[in-house]
Amino acid sequence: MAEKLNFSPNALVVLKKRYLKKNEKGQTVETPVELVERVSGAIASVEKKYSVTKERTEEIKKKFFEIIANLEFVPNSPTLMNAGKDLGQLSACFVVPVEDSMDSIFDAIKATALIHKTGGGTGFSFSRLRHKNSVVKSTGGVASGPVSFMKVFDAATQAVKQGGTRRGANMGMLRIDHPDVLEFIKCKEKEGDISNFNISVALTDDFMEKVLKEEDYNLIDPHSGETVNRVNAHDTFNTIADYAYKNGEPGIIFIDRMNEGNPTPQLGNIESTNPCGEQPLLPFESCNLGSINLSKFLREVNGNFEINWERLKDVTSLAVRFLDNVIEANKFPLPQIKENTLKTRKIGLGIMGFATMLGFLGIAYDSDEAIGLAKSIMDFIYKNAKEESMKLAKERGVFPAWKGSIWDKKAIRIRNATLTTVAPTGTISIIAGPTSSGIEPNFSLCYSRSVLEGEKLLEIDPAFEYIAKKEGFYSEELMKKIASGESIQNMEEVPEKFKKIFKTAMEISPLWHIKMQAAFQEFTDNAVSKTINLPNNATVEDVKESYLLSYKLRCKGITVYRDGSRSVQVLNVEKKKEDKKHELGEERQPMISYPRPRPEVIMGTTTKVTTGCGNLYITINQGESGDFFEVFTQMGKAGGCAGSQLEAVGRLISLALRGGVDIKVVTEQLKGIRCPSPSWVNGKKIFSCADAVARVLEKRAMDQKEIVKVEVPVLEKQEASVLVKKTNSFSNIVGVCPDCGFALRHQEGCLLCDACGYSKC
């Protein structure tokens, strides 16, 4: 049955792991065909509400089935997971308000827990909270400030995410004129702090103008509205750039631009977005997303490819109808979310596969031709989406908050307050693939993915594979070289003209990344999720120039990521020599190329844990200074896949510890990972072998007694060098996927795993 849907082997793995129905024993009880039938049937059933005939409902169901089965359109993950099920929560994006009172703060935490439990992500503005050390008149005490409460939200997310259908993700936002803005900018400086949040600073147009003029601006008490300080805008701007240079955060949101596009200003101002920043929402609003796979809208004519505009129009119309139906089919986690979502009926139709389409068309990503095509495609999708929404308004009525909206002022009767969003498509692009993600260039033209039972499959960009075979330079050896991390820019066998067409993300100038984001933003009424890739040797000045260019080109926000900037990526980059001090006056810490060398003899402990798979022996060794140094795991006499996976877990933990990663970060990645055979130890549930390792690490961190002598083989420097070379092959690797152990990359404003589809957002 799956072959009829043309799912790739990688897509089947992701579907089985994340989307197909499972029984109470965790066994898969649904085929991919049945999944598509379940989703299309549940969403098409909404048609009955509008007095559509049974035959018409069945016709629409078949059309919905067709566009998903053909991989032309894929809805967001919660819709795929939950449509037609009892849970029935279908939205990906929510914004929860946080007012300046304890009641509001903890009501927001409760709402967040309920949303995360159903698979949604949440955004917050903490700008209404009074600043740190300001007086609380009702108690006579002093306020602890927004950052302290963000840590409470972060802890709640950490606790809830183990029980939800997918890990919860948050966006924390603070206005640039909040008195605690500098503390907020620096709040994620230490790796592992507030790890369940993406953070963004909301910049106003007034602030940006003062940056350009190097003038002072006011910091305003959100409670009283009074100015509490004046600081230099350029200095604050430099601080934002410096911290983004170091670890990719904070991002920036141009909040006035967001509100320029607010379709219902009569309901209030936009203060926050969803976790990746592409979906601005009012308090207690949600949005339903889905993406068109552009790589499926090409046809070959006389040996060349052209865009099938007619089919793109048809699928756009069907996708808008589908997403409007999702709003009706949705089972909202809170009554106020249902009320506010139904008022505006926002949808977010986006795209994926843009880079793959460019490859088939023979167009370089970093070219004016590509920028022009981006505008043409998004303009076409937006116009046809608007046309379909206007048709739906005739059939079903305008959105309830239409009166007083920007659509009312334009005298356009429309069903949905917003129509288009370019959202991350990490997981669904695997399902629809092989194809490129969102509007991003390829991070690699060929790489290996681990699928069932440790089998590795090469995934090749279909456009590059087609061209390579057509032009006669394809070979298995070439693909293996690319998969190992070699760039085609250095390969003689690849013709020069194709080197220009098939540049990867880190081979494209940040200027073109920003120009591409701006091109899509011009015809997107919500916003665009994209990562602006910077090479490791980029400077803070490069970050600032990227910010200023994105402001000039009228982007609604920007996320930069300098390759190798996170401490968990120390094995992926060359050591950077830098003698000068950065703008904050601190000595910049150099990157390291190798993990600390291992002494011949080392001390540690071995702990026996009973798991659902058998007795697991966990050895944790300490360095000379007493810090954790390495981990070895052994499951009885286990061999094969189980033994190799346990060995891999131990090796990766050891490399992280020897590379300086905090033990808290390591345990957070492992804790709560589940397998089909959990166990109970001392009244506590052990979810998996990885979870067992995390718990032993936690316990040893608190109690470092009973040291025993353990002799283990030495990891030779040559072995470490090979590992460094391999892990340095691809760009934007920021760590290890908590679900499958594959490389975790920074892309589309989020952390994504290309192997299993895990997304932090």
d(CA 761, CA 757): 11
User: Does the annotation mark 191 as catalytic?
Assistant: no
Three-class SS of 702-722: HCCCCCEEECCCCCCHHHHHH
Q: Is 325 exposed, middle or buried (0-12, 13-18, 19+ CB in 10 A)?
A: buried
Catalytic residue status for 477: no
C-alpha 19/C-alpha 37 separation (Å) is 13
Neighbours of 313 (CB within 10 A): 17
**Torsion sign (Cα): 256, 262, 266, 272:** negative
Q: Which of 278, 285, 440, 459 is catalytic?
A: 278
- Are 291 and 526 within 8 A, CB to CB? no
For 738, which DSSP code? T
Per-residue DSSP letter, 760: -
CA distance 707 to 269: 59
Pairwise CA distance, residues 609 & 640, whole Å = 20
If 0-12 CB within 10 Å is exposed, 13-18 middle and 19+ buried, where does residue 112 land?
Answer: buried
Give the integer Cα–Cα distance in Å for 703 and 374: 57
Residues 6+ apart with CB under 8 A from 211: 233, 234, 237
Q: Which of 70, 438, 173 has the alpha carbon at shortest distance from 289?
A: 438
Catalytic residue among 196, 247, 274, 288: 274
Q: Let me know if 492 is a catalytic residue.
A: no
Task: State the Cα–Cα distance between residues 182 and 333, nearest whole angstrom.
Answer: 34
Catalytic residue among 93, 276, 446, 555: 276
How far is the CA of 427 from the CAs of 36, 77, 421, 630, 751, in angstroms?
16, 8, 17, 32, 11
> HEC string of 442-505?
CCCCEEEEECHHHCEEEEECHHHHHHHHHHCCCCHHHHHHHHCCCCHHHCCCCCHHHHHHCCCH
- Identify the CA nearest to 557 among candidates 304, 254, 238, 288: 254
Whole-Å CA distances, 688 to 554, 609, 640, 694, 737:
48, 11, 17, 10, 16
Phi, psi of 279 (to 5 degrees): -125, 90
Which positions are annotated as active-site residues? 274, 276, 278
